[in-house]
């Protein structure tokens, strides 16, 4: 629903997000080693209490798909649930497209989280198997 990020040279980035999950508005705020990491962690903070897991990034790719100063950036990611590990873990993709690579990155992460939630709801993956753990 909304996001904000602050980043500076040599410092930690701070991100905040507002998302709607199961009809309820939730917010999260966290820091990271860059603006994308800070926003991903903020999303995790917003959704983990409800879902019991957060997306775990398996792959992240960014590519300019047009030329010039207003080039479109495409972000492609692959994620699994933090409670799933090993070769049997269900992995989904997320895509984002924007002239703002931070926005495209956040869009891709939200798409992947929604796919993981949908897989859980339709039985493609089993519901939470163990308590969620936050990795450092």
Q: Is the pLDDT of residue 128 over 80?
A: no
Q: Is the pLDDT of residue 125 over 90?
A: no
Residue 127: exposure state from Cβ atoms within 10 A (0-12, 13-18, ≥19): exposed
Model pLDDT, residue 135: 43
Mean pLDDT along residues 104-132 = 84
Q: Is the pLDDT of residue 103 over 50?
A: yes
Model pLDDT, residue 40: 98
Q: Which of 62-66, 67-71, 81-85 has the lowest average pLDDT?
A: 67-71
Mean pLDDT along residues 1-26 = 92
């Amino acid at each position: 629903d909304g996001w904000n990020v602050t980043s500076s040279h040599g410092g930690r980035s701070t991100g905040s997000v507002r998302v709607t999950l199961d009809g309820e508005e939730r917010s999260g705020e966290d820091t990271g080693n860059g603006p994308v990491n800070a926003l991903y962690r903020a999303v995790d903070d917003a959704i983990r209490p409800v879902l019991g897991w957060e997306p775990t990034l398996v792959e992240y790719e960014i590519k300019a798909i047009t030329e010039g100063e207003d080039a479109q950036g495409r972000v492609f990611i692959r994620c699994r649930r933090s409670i799933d590990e090993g070769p049997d873990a269900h992995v989904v993709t997320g895509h984002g497209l924007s002239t703002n690579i931070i926005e495209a990155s956040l869009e891709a992460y939200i798409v992947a989280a929604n796919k993981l939630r949908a897989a859980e709801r339709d039985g493609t993956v089993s519901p939470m198997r163990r308590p969620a753990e936050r990795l450092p």
